[in-house]
Every structure is written in C-alpha cells, then in structure tokens.
Chains A and B, each alone.
Chain A
Amino acid sequence: MAKRIDVKDVNIYYGKFRAVDDVTLHVPPKQVTAFIGPSGCGKSTMLRTLNRMHEVVPGARVEGQVLLDGENIYASSVDPVQVRRTVGMVFQSPNPFPTMSIRDNVVAGLKLAGTRNKKQLDEIAEQALRGANLWNEVKDRLSKPGGGLSGGQQQRLCIARAIAVQPDVLLMDEPCSALDPISTLAIEDLISELKKDYTIVIVTHNMQQAARVSDETGFFNVPGVGEPGRLVEFNDTEKIFSNPDEQATEDYISGRFG
C-alpha cells in the first residue's frame, strides 16, 4: 500500500552544522520523485530523514515534520524501527551482509523479523531476485556468499533485499551509480514497475535518468561551502526539464552550472 509523504519546514543538522535548510515538499503516492542537485547539497541527507536513518549518525537531528499518510514520523511516540519497516532504502554503495549467502541476504529483513517458513522465504527470495533482475545470474548459486558478486550484481541484490520486505515507500540513493547501462535500464524498468505499488523517491546525478523515470523532481542547491542546502524548485518532472520556474534549475539542467 503506497503512502504519500509530506515534508513540512524541515531543517536537518549534523551536530551544529545545518546541512539542509527549511524544506517543504510533497511526495505523491504511487509516483516516482527524483532529487537532483550538485554534490554535497544534501540530497542523501534529505532522503535519509524520510525513514529516520539520519538520526543513526551521532549528533544528527531533524527539526520539523515528515508526515507519512498524515502521521508525523518524528512524533515522540513513533518507533523508528517501525518507520524503517514501512519505508525501505537502497544505499549509494552496495552493502550486502558478508556473513550471509545470496538467498539469506535477500530474505534477511524477513528472517531477522522472525519469519521461519523456509518454503515461503524461498519463494519470496526468488520473487525479489526476479524483481531486481538478478535471478538468472544467481539462481544456481543462491547459497554462495553475497560478497562474491560483482558490484552491480551486489547493488541489485540490495534492491532485492529492500523489496523483499515489501515496504510502502522505497528510497533509493543513486542506486545505479555502480551499474552498467543495461542493468541501469533494467533498474529503471523495475522502478517503473514498482511504482504501481510503491511510492518511490530516488536520488540521481543522471539527468536523463531523472527525466526518464520520475514524475516529480526536486532540485536542491547549495549556495556555498559550509552553507546549508536548499530546495530550489519542486515541480512536475516535465516542467522542470522543459520550462523550470527558477533560473538556477535551468542552468543546472542544461549544464551551465557553477
């Protein structure tokens, strides 16, 4: 069941350093929302506040509200573990568990949550691996370690792992930065497929990718070193890429940046 996300007046800090300044945006359900912007502008930071992963960093904190279908995930009564079960995440660099086989990596979320039924887990593993377009490559070595895959395969393994727990929202931080063009296209197809059921937020440095897969796009920018990143523009992807409201967005997209 896909959910909508409303970010209201959010400031994000690492200790005293304010990394993201006063962001308000609305991520619609069953759509793909892309965050673009130069390196260091706070895209990853913004993304990680959407499932309370930000606070895992020592000293990191968030001000403001993030509403998941109207419920503030930063309310004091909310359990961050439950939030992360609902809002899954794929990281910038692949991070399979080195102690687990390929199959166990995929079903790690379910197994650690207590699912024991082997047959059910096998089915879910296959489904998730097919979903991540990895099944054919690994079906004969499911019991081999996940660390023995290539970088791109590892990333798809991580995507499989994230969708195996069937979250409502899927956050992806540059999921294709380690992938070849064919796997990238496969992931993009996968994203379009997943969007039927999930709300997806993706960070990407690849303009074409943002244009291809996303429905909404947010452009972040950082005015200078040591200053917080800001959301410059949030709009329909089509509008952002054809006729953005802000000059800065147009400069960035057309490569006249810096």
Chain B
Amino acid sequence: MTTDTLQSAERASPFQHLSGVRKAKNYLASVLVTCSFLIALIPLGWLLVTVVTKGYRALVSERWFTHSLSGVMPEQFAGGIYHALYGSIAQGVMCAIIAIPLGVFTGIYLAEYGRGWLARSVTFMVDILSGVPSIVAALFIFALWISVFGFPKSAFAVSLALVLLMLPIVIRSTEEMLRLVPDQLREASYALGVPQWKTIVKVVLPTAYSGMVTGMMLAMARVLGETAPVLVLVGYSRSINYNVFDGNMASLPLTIMNELLNPEPAGVARMWGAALTLILLVMIFNLMAAVLSRFSAVKSS
C-alpha cells in the first residue's frame, strides 16, 4: 500500500513535466529580447550603410588621405581630407595629453585616498562637469582663453574645451575600475610591507589597466566627434595648418559642417567622405583600445 503510493509519486516526477505556461513565458521572453536586439540594430545598420554608400567614393579617391582642399573649387571632385584629419588628431591628442594624466590621477585620488569633504566636493564637481553640454564648455573656454587672456582662436583652444568634456569621463572610468579591484589584493600587498603608493602602482593599476584603457579610448572617441568647440573656438581652413596655437585649422566635424553648406555634388561627396573618415578614426581608436587591453597584465588561466 505505502510502496504503491510512493511509486506512483515517483512516476509523476516533478523534473519531467514542463508546464505549458512556463514554456510560453520563456518563449515570449526570448522573442522579446531578440526583437529588441533587432530593433536596436536597425538604426545602427542603416546609419552605417548610409554613411558607407555615400562616403566611400570620396574615400577611395586618389588624394583623399594625402591632400587638403586648398585651391579646390566647390564643384570640383578633387582634393582630400588630410588637413582635417591632421586637425582632428592633433586636437584629440593634445586633449588626451592633458586630460588623461589629470583624470587618472584624480581617479586614483578618489578611489584610493579620497575621504571626507575634499573627495566629496571633487566627486560633486566631476558630476557637474560630466553634465556640461559641449557648447557651454566651448563658450567657457572662449570667455576665458580668448576674451580674458587674449589668446587667438586656435586648435589649442579647442583642445582645452575638449579637456573639459573628456576629464569627467576619464575620472569616472578610472575611479570605477579601481574600485573593482578587490581590497584583498591591496591588503595582501600591504601585508608584505609594501607602501601604499607602490601597491597602487604595481598591484592595483595593473589589475585595473584594461578597463581604464577602454574608458579612455571611449572618451577619446566621444570628443573626436564634438562639433560645438570647433565651431566656436577655431576658424575653418581649407589648407593645412600645422600650428596648433594660432590660425584656422580644419577638423573632420568642421569640414562636414562646411561642406554641408556646399550644394554641389562634389561637396556632398566630401561631406559624407569626411563623415566616414570620422567613423573610421573612432573605430581605429576603439580597435586600439581592444588591442591595448589585450596586453592587460591580468592573466587568466
């Protein structure tokens, strides 16, 4: 009698019966997730296809990467983007040279040393800074650098505005990556009689390195596309200007803005070509980030 009941209970094993409701729910969830993914993909794919189809002609033209637009007529299919590419890279690199060390050290301060009111006010300021629109950053630099200090409009002024935009991103990503490093590693290092600064340099930073690099490269990608600072702080030039401290200098966003005003087919082609070049530049930075994080010192088994 008892054995019978036991056996029948065994036959109706709870593991073999998948209820219809749960199956349906599961199905619904996977359909929803897949659909969202596809919908999110549509604008992205569309954008890429548009930029590539409209821009590749200019890109594959002979002098695109080697020449400027100096002396090129608006309706002429000629010239290149070299001057603007140089400008974008120069402005981006100058910005990075200032913002990355400053941001990394501030991030280290916040994550490793910062306590009390000073750290809180720095965090507060960083929060505000990360909410500042790029046009406001540009106006601020205009007011300070050009109106008050009396320097000319220049690529360097643009870089300063970009620093304001890049700094909070670098600080935040550094701080967050450092906070992800388990305290146990710091303690292990302290317990060996290693001072705090050496622990940070030799143990904490190498562990967080790959995440920090990714953050920096994303910040770089972001500022390269900024348009407001170049519109406000430097004039457009169709020829090459290597002097970052004086004179007009083109950059990719500025070239796009300029060719936008050119109704000729050649101008349209150059505009899309510059857009595609900008995307490629950003992609190269992202690839560099991926490669650099590959060299991460964290060794997985």
Contacts and interface: CB of A to CB of B under 8 A. Distances in A.
Nearest to A108: B192
Contacts of A88: 191-192
Given A112-B194, A112-B202, A161-B192, A95 B301 contact: no
Contacts of B187: 53, 56, 91, 95
Given A56-B190, A109-B194, A113-B194, A99 B115 contact: no
Given A81-B193, A162-B191, A165-B193, A99 B184 contact: no
A109 B193 contact: yes
**DSSP majority for the B interface?**
helix
Nearest to B298: A98
A15 interface: no
B126 interface: no
A103 to B, nearest CB: 12
Nearest to A110: B192
A86 B193 CA distance: 8
Given A112-B198, A145-B301, A147-B301, A99 B203 contact: yes
B185 interface: yes
A72 interface: no
B192 A162 contact: yes
Contact of B297 (A82, A99, A112): A99
Contact of B191 (A89, A98, A145): A89
Contacts of B190: 53, 56, 81, 84
A175 to B, nearest CB: 13
A55 to B, nearest CB: 10
B193 A82 contact: yes
**DSSP majority for the A interface?**
mixed
Nearest to A80: B190
A84 B300 contact: no
Contacts of A184: none
Contacts of B300: 145, 147-148
Interface in A140-159: 144-145, 147-148, 158
A258 interface: no
Contacts of A98: 185, 207, 298-299
B25 to A, nearest CB: 38
Chain B interface category by residue count: 20 to 34
A95 B182 CA distance: 9
B186 interface: yes
Contacts of B193: 81-82, 84-86, 109, 113, 165
Interface string B285-301: 00000000000011111
Interface in A76-131: 81-82, 84-86, 88-89, 91, 93, 95-101, 108-109, 112-113
Contacts of B192: 84-85, 88, 108-109, 112, 161-162, 165
Contacts of A100: 297, 299
A172 to B, nearest CB: 11
B258 interface: no
A255 interface: no
Contacts of A148: 299-301
A36 B203 CA distance: 32
Contacts of A109: 192-194
A158 B188 contact: yes
Contacts of B198: 112
A57 to B, nearest CB: 9
B211 interface: no
A133 interface: no
A58 interface: yes
A26 B188 CA distance: 26
A249 interface: no
Contacts of B298: 98-99
A81 B186 CA distance: 13
Given A58-B115, A85-B193, A112-B202, A145 B184 contact: no
A217 B208 CA distance: 41
B206 interface: yes
Interface string B178-219: 000010111111111111001100110011000000000000
A53 B191 contact: yes
Interface string A43-85: 0000000010100101000000000000000000000011011
| Among A85, A86, A100, A148: residue with most chain B CB under 10 A | A100
B157 to A, nearest CB: 40
A99 B300 CA distance: 9
Interface of A: 51, 53, 56, 58, 81-82, 84-86, 88-89, 91, 93, 95-101, 108-109, 112-113, 144-145, 147-148, 158, 161-162, 165
5 contacts: A88-B191, A97-B188, A98-B185, A101-B299, A108-B192
Top-9 shortest CB links A-B: A148-B301, A85-B193, A145-B299, A109-B192, A99-B297, A89-B191, A95-B184, A99-B206, A84-B193
Given A89-B191, A98-B299, A147-B300, 17 more contacts: A56-B186, A81-B193, A84-B190, A84-B192, A84-B193, A91-B188, A93-B184, A97-B207, A98-B298, A99-B203, A99-B206, A112-B199, A145-B299, A145-B300, A147-B299, A148-B299, A148-B300
